[in-house]
Chain A
Amino acid sequence: MARFCDFNVPYSENTENLHQIVEMAIKLGYESVALNCCVTPGTKKGQAAVPSPPKPVELSQATLAPLMAQRKTFQQLTRLTAIIETNEQKYKLNPNNPPVNTYDILAVQPLNMKMFEAACHDLEVDIISLDMTQKLPFLLKLTPIKRAIARGIRFEIVYAPAIRDSTLRRYIISNATDLMTFCKGKNIILSSQAEKAIELRGPHDVANLGVLFGMNQAQAKDAVSVNCRAVLLHAETRGSAVGVISIERIMKQTPGVISVERIPPASADKRTLEKDSGEDPPGKKPKMTAQKKIK
């Protein structure tokens, strides 16, 4: 069974609160958590459009022990959510720019129809997040959503505001069911956006919430496990050429184990890329492992 993920833990400077949230996530059975940086690119002149990714939360051995007992590992990722409204902001989100390509997951939150269509059709992102706590500023349409699904982009539904307040709950349920009529329950991820540890819910409870949003039981469970994994794989392919070839620098560290470092395609020479493609047999999957053993 795929591991349970929560891809929206808002990153804040308040480390104690963040620590509590991550600890609670471990306690509830999540194995993967993404720290989310929410930005509006290009608001101030001269400032970097996107901040550098947050550092992972340091966890003590005692909190990780229940996971270790079941031979599981805990994974902390970084995620960038850009709120885009104009074309200018859209271009700042080029995935080859240095601060952007260091994030593990890339998400956008379009504020108008034009940007939503752009995000569905040609933006290189993994997640499209819509602010569901109010009436959506545009009508959802089938064509762009179909295109987004074909490109493997996931839509995000956030559940913590629904727990916080009953008015927000009403909006979230109506918007989520609206989205569900187009997606038919597929290509959806459910994540928390919890500001406090007490707002998190266990993965099975979140799946039950998904049922409330109009998915069936299997789809709701996929929304917290399988689809999240798909998002990660989609993010991996962004760093490779057409999702088939990726370039890795091999360094020898310890005898018997080669550690591998990924190079983003922007910095790689085009010629080496072609040379590599010649060597690789067709249909070979991209190397996604971090460590490999010598035969």
Chain B
Amino acid sequence: MVRFKHRYVLAELIFGKDLLIYNITQRVVYAAVRDIIEQLHGRYGIGLITPGLSVKYINEYTRMVMVRCRRENLKLLTSAIPFIKHLPDGKGGQLPCFLRTLHVGGSIRACQKWLVQHNRQVLPTLLLRCTSKEEKSRMRKSIFNSTLVKEEPWNEGKDDT
């Protein structure tokens, strides 16, 4: 039986400067979320949100973050997320950045499912970045191949080719 119901907030990091990779870790995002909740909801808010709050997943390349919280306190988290305006970049400076909420799910699995679908939709926009014709055709081919896969890649026991 499930004792604690959780909610997973899937968000995209959008940076002011366009770099290929950012030095962002789970701990940095966790601290930022905690800080902003303390600013906005005070000690009471931070007391409520701390049990159960964690950053479950981060992808530096696709810039996706997944933040978990207890179901009862979801409003505290979602109302605070828009106020994040910068994250520390690890060198003592601040990176201007914000989070864009994409999806709120009840399990990690549901969020992953949604994320795969979302990434498939976003793939064609990569075509616009291609410069030469050859590159474009190669990209189109690889997109076509990747979208054909029907098995869920995180399913254990059933390895896809």
B86-115 near A? 1/0 per residue, CB < 8 Å: 000000000011111110000000000000
Question: In whole angstroms, how far apart are the Cα atoms of A242 and B61 in the complex?
Answer: 55
Residue of B nearest to A164 (CB): B85
Q: Is A59 an interface residue (CB 8 A)?
A: no
**B79 close to A211 (CB less than 8 A):** yes
Given contacts A28-B100, A166-B39, A197-B16, are A208 and B85 in contact (CB under 8 A)? no
A contacts with B: majority SS: helix
Task: Give the Cβ gap from B35 to chain A, nearest Cβ, in Å.
Answer: 12
**B83 close to A204 (CB less than 8 A):** no
Q: Is A205 an interface residue (CB 8 A)?
A: yes
Question: In whole angstroms, how far apart are the Cα atoms of A69 and B82 in the complex?
Answer: 27
Given contacts A163-B85, A198-B16, are A211 and B100 in contact (CB under 8 A)? no
Q: Is A230 an interface residue (CB 8 A)?
A: no
Task: Give the Cβ gap from A188 to chain B, nearest Cβ, in Å.
Answer: 16
**A205 close to B82 (CB less than 8 A):** yes
What is the interface residue range for chain A against chain B? 20 to 34
Task: Give the Cβ gap from B7 to chain A, nearest Cβ, in Å.
Answer: 13
Residue of A nearest to B103 (CB): A204
Question: In whole angstroms, how far apart are the Cα atoms of A276 and B24 in the complex?
Answer: 65
**A201 close to B39 (CB less than 8 A):** no
**B16 close to A201 (CB less than 8 A):** no
Which of chain A's residues have a CB closer than 8 A to the CB of B40? 169
Best-surrounded residue of A65, A169, A198, A206 (most CB of chain B within 10 A): A198
Which of chain B's residues have a CB closer than 8 A to the CB of A28? 100
Interface residues in A195-216 by Cβ distance below 8 A to B read 197-199, 201-202, 204-206, 208-209, 211-212
**B79 close to A208 (CB less than 8 A):** yes
Task: Give the Cβ gap from B31 to chain A, nearest Cβ, in Å.
Answer: 18
Residue of A nearest to B122 (CB): A66
Question: In whole angstroms, how far apart are the Cα atoms of A162 and B85 in the complex?
Answer: 11
**B39 close to A211 (CB less than 8 A):** no
Task: Give the Cβ gap from A177 to chain B, nearest Cβ, in Å.
Answer: 13
Task: Give the Cβ gap from A233 to chain B, nearest Cβ, in Å.
Answer: 28
Residue of B nearest to A212 (CB): B79
Closest 8 CB pairs of A and B: A202-B100, A212-B79, A205-B82, A208-B78, A198-B16, A201-B82, A198-B96, A204-B101
7 A-B pairs with CB atoms under 8 Å apart are A159-B82, A169-B40, A199-B85, A208-B78, A208-B82, A208-B101, A209-B79
